[in-house]
Chains A and B, each alone.
Chain A
Amino acid sequence: MSGYQKSGIEPSFANELFTPLPKSRQFFTYLMNAIALGFTVIALIPLLSILWEIISRGISGLKLEMFVNPVIDFGFGNAILGTVVIVSIAALLSVPVGILTGIFLAEFGRINPAANFVRFITNILTGVPSIVVGVFAYSINVFVTKTFSAIAAGFALATIMLPVIVLTTEEALKLVPTDQRLASAALGGNRLQTTFRIVITAALPAITTGILLAVARASGETAPLIFTALFSLDWSEGLLSPTASLPVLIYNLYNDPDPQKHQLVWTTSIVLLSLILFVSIISRLITSKRKIK
């Protein structure tokens, strides 16, 4: 007590200073801590459960010949090939357009009204439901070519990938310091040279990451494929005929009474999921490291 009197603090005030929090406020803190941590644990359960169930149910059916047999012989060879073909077409269509639009946003004046407008449109494109994109691709392609085809599906997936590539390219290019552009310009480089020799080269890893993310997202899309690529049980006859893909295989066969086909669905899920998770984990790891620097 004497200490407080010496420093001039009133004893009643000192008393209050050392009173613990009222029980109700303490209880509120503990309660909210418990709720927040509990909800976080709940949020993790579905992911862990999905991974666990798919691996435990699918792994027993995983055989090497599945990778070369078509669905009709209880494999997913044709679906893997179909997915690769469709996603390649999509990448071929969307990557050049996406990167150049990204260059426009990052290099041709970041804050002028035109760039803001393009950015706004791109953001809206990101939010268009994939089934609507499917209807769009169907109307354009299937109507023109009169058939369900890998090309129509590739077009649909390209529409989904495009905004992702644009936005990630812009982010990647923004990370390149302006000083480097000025240095290039000072040495007499024009915009083409500066963009391709300096900016793109520096941002290439990040752009690649963005493209990989877009590819990962597109490979899992089902809705726009079920009426553009349709499906086929056997190897596809060409780019202009119905083509199988891994997600549509799962969707078409998940209710199949044949136990062998049912097993195939779970095994296909392992393949598709490990493919997608592998690509997205790698690309996310690269980008997260980049941000810390």
Chain B
Amino acid sequence: MKNSSNSPYNNSLNLNDENVELIGNNGIKGWFDQGFTWLVYTFTAITVAMLFVMSWTIFQEARPAIAKFGIKFLWGQDWDVGNEIFGALPYIYGTLVSSAIAILFAFPVGLAVALVTSENFLPRSIQTTLAFVVQLIAAIPSVIIGLWGIFVFIPVLEPLQRLIAKYFSWIPLFNTTEPFGTNMLTAGIILAIMILPTIAAISRDVLLAIPKELRSSSMALGSTRWETIFRVLLPAGFSGIVSAAMLALGRALGETMAVTMVIGNSSQISASLLDPGYTIPSVIANEFAEADRGLHIGALTYLGLVLFGVTLFVNIGAILLVEWVGKKNR
């Protein structure tokens, strides 16, 4: 990345134009300039400090619970507010399973949207409109998607789930006699809808960035469109598409309102996807406002810390992958 920008100054002038020094230091104007520079530094420091202060504050708030339960909190199964016994396993389980279902549904659909809007299946104007409209899903507030989920989607989904439960109850995943509609599977599908724009948009950018020559040479060797997609485009964009899925996974793990409204909020761990579940964000949303200061708030914040850690891990992984891909393409 040395002098690699597309400015005409690169060769004629010995000037790295991405790092132009524009600072002046004459008289009173120089003082203004110094002040401005320091102001920028200070505000940038505030932005950076935000993340660290956030981590520290949440850690502090969770301290009572960390001291009491330690690492055992992670696999404790009981959540008894009255007796101050707190275990996180049902919530961790619910968060991971609902997000996994979401990725399972959203990944193929999102990839299909990315392919349709980046390949030349359709006229250009329709493609951009499609990409734009799918993006609009991301703008819908979570609480409205939850509202739609409860009153529109679940009534449609419930008979289907009953059929599945009736004929496939011999599979442990569907072993529920009377599914109610508010369950893990529903939450997963709702989450899939919400993370679809993320996968579609980033994968589309990745696919559009693949050099045209790769596609042309594959076509010239006699491959059909789909053979080109599967053997050339998807392998070339693999890491970018995976990082899109990881960013989407991060979204799904932290999503709160829509999940809280449709997952059924039961802290029983059940193997069946048609049974209600609970997630970390949901339990925080439901109990935080009414919790007493002390161990209950501590336990909820501890849950928040666990979620923070998991999403941080997933997001950093995705960001590093994106940066690595970007460097490779340069």
Contacts and interface: CB of A to CB of B under 8 A. Distances in A.
Interface of A: 21, 25, 28-29, 32-33, 35-40, 42-44, 46-47, 49-50, 53-54, 57, 96-98, 100-101, 103-104, 107-112, 117-118, 120-136, 138-140, 148, 159, 162-163, 166, 178-179, 181-182, 184-185, 188-195, 216-217, 219-223, 226-227, 230, 247, 250-251, 254, 265-266, 269, 272-273, 276-277, 280-281, 284, 288
A21 B225 CA distance: 12
B195 to A, nearest CB: 12
Contact of A110 (B9, B19, B40): B19
21 contacts: A40-B116, A40-B117, A43-B134, A104-B43, A111-B19, A120-B319, A123-B315, A127-B311, A128-B51, A128-B254, A129-B254, A132-B311, A139-B301, A189-B22, A190-B25, A220-B142, A222-B141, A251-B143, A251-B257, A276-B139, A280-B136
A225 B60 CA distance: 21
Contacts of A25: 224, 227
Contact of B18 (A35, A111, A226): A111
Nearest to A28: B226
Contacts of A46: 137, 145, 148, 153, 193
Given A36-B116, A111-B18, A185-B20, A128 B311 contact: yes
Q: Which of A130, A140, A166, A222 has most chain B Cβ within 10 Å?
A: A222
B141 A36 contact: no
A190 B29 contact: yes
Contacts of B253: 129
The 8 closest A-B pairs by CB, nearest first: A129-B254, A190-B24, A220-B141, A39-B112, A127-B315, A100-B43, A223-B256, A227-B289
Contacts of A43: 109-110, 112-113, 134, 196, 200
A124 B36 CA distance: 27
A254 B304 contact: no
B100 interface: no
A273 B142 contact: no
Interface in B9-27: 9, 17-20, 22-26
Q: Which of B37, B61, B143 has most chain A Cβ within 10 Å?
A: B143
B311 A97 contact: no
A166 B44 CA distance: 10
Nearest to B303: A135
Given A39-B112, A129-B307, A131-B284, A222 B143 contact: yes
Contacts of B301: 135, 139
Contacts of A29: 224-226
A16 B89 CA distance: 63
Given A46-B137, A129-B311, A276-B141, A191 B288 contact: no
Contacts of A140: 57
B58 A132 contact: yes
A124 B315 contact: yes
Nearest to A50: B148
B7 interface: yes
- Secondary structure class of chain B's binding surface, majority of residues: helix
B281 to A, nearest CB: 4
Contacts of B57: 136, 139-140
A194 B314 CA distance: 39
A111 B47 contact: no
Contacts of A125: 47, 50-51
Contacts of A194: 22
A192 B281 contact: no
B247 interface: yes
Given A131-B256, A131-B284, A222-B257, A181 B140 contact: no
Contacts of A166: 47
Q: Which of A38, A128, A130 has most chain B Cβ within 10 Å?
A: A128
A191 B33 contact: yes
Given A43-B109, A223-B281, A191 B307 contact: no
A266 B136 CA distance: 19
Contacts of B134: 43-44, 47
Contacts of A266: 147
Interface in B36-56: 36-37, 39-41, 43-44, 46-48, 50-51, 54
Contacts of B151: 53, 57
Nearest to B17: A178
Contact of B139 (A38, A42, A277): A277
Q: Which of B224, B256, B288, B314 has most chain A Cβ within 10 Å?
A: B256
B150 interface: yes
Given A108-B40, A135-B61, A130 B24 contact: no
Nearest to B225: A29
A53 B136 contact: no
A269 B147 contact: yes
A213 to B, nearest CB: 9
A269 B285 contact: no
B157 interface: no
Contact of A139 (B61, B121, B142, B247): B61
B117 to A, nearest CB: 8
Given A111-B19, A191-B24, A194-B22, A131 B281 contact: yes
B51 to A, nearest CB: 5
B20 A273 contact: no
A57 B148 CA distance: 11
Contacts of A163: 47
A121 B51 contact: yes
Contact of A191 (B22, B44, B113): B22
B141 A247 contact: yes
